[in-house]
A = this chain, B = another copy of it.
Amino acid sequence: MKINVLFTYVSADDLSFTGRTSVVIDVLRASSTIVNALQNDAKEIIPVSTVEFAVKVSGGMFSGQTLLGGERNTKKVEGFALGNSPLEYLQELIAGKTIILYTTNGSKAIVKAKFSQTLLICSFLNISAIANYLVELNEDFEIVCSGKGSVFSMEDTVCAGKLISEIMKIHDDIELSDSARASLALNKNFGKNILKMLKETEHGKLLIENGFEEDLKFCSKLNYSNVVPYFSGNVIKALQVNKSIPV
Contact = CB atoms under 8 A, between A and B. Distances in A.
A182 B179 contact: no
Interface centre among A8, A151, A182 (most CB of B within 10 A): A182
Interface residues of A, number: 25
Nearest to A150: B11
B179 A190 contact: no
A174 interface: no
Interface string A210-233: 000000000000000000000000
A17 interface: no
A10 B8 CA distance: 11
Interface centre among A10, A152, A186, A189 (most CB of B within 10 A): A152
A151 B8 CA distance: 10
Contacts of A202: 177-178
A185 B189 contact: yes
Contact of A12 (B150, B154, B181, B188): B150
A201 B152 CA distance: 20
A116 interface: no
A8 B152 CA distance: 10
A190 B185 contact: yes
Contacts of A188: 189
A102 interface: no
A177 B206 CA distance: 13
A107 interface: no
A135 to B, nearest CB: 24
A185 to B, nearest CB: 4
Given A10-B11, A185-B190, 17 more contacts: A5-B152, A7-B7, A7-B152, A11-B11, A12-B150, A151-B179, A152-B177, A154-B178, A154-B181, A154-B182, A157-B182, A177-B202, A178-B201, A178-B203, A186-B186, A188-B189, A189-B189
Interface of A: 5, 7-8, 10-12, 150-154, 157, 177-179, 181-182, 185-186, 188-190, 201-203
Complex A-B, nearest 10 residue pairs according to Cβ-Cβ distance, in ascending order: A11-B150, A154-B178, A152-B179, A11-B11, A185-B189, A10-B11, A178-B202, A178-B201, A182-B186, A152-B178
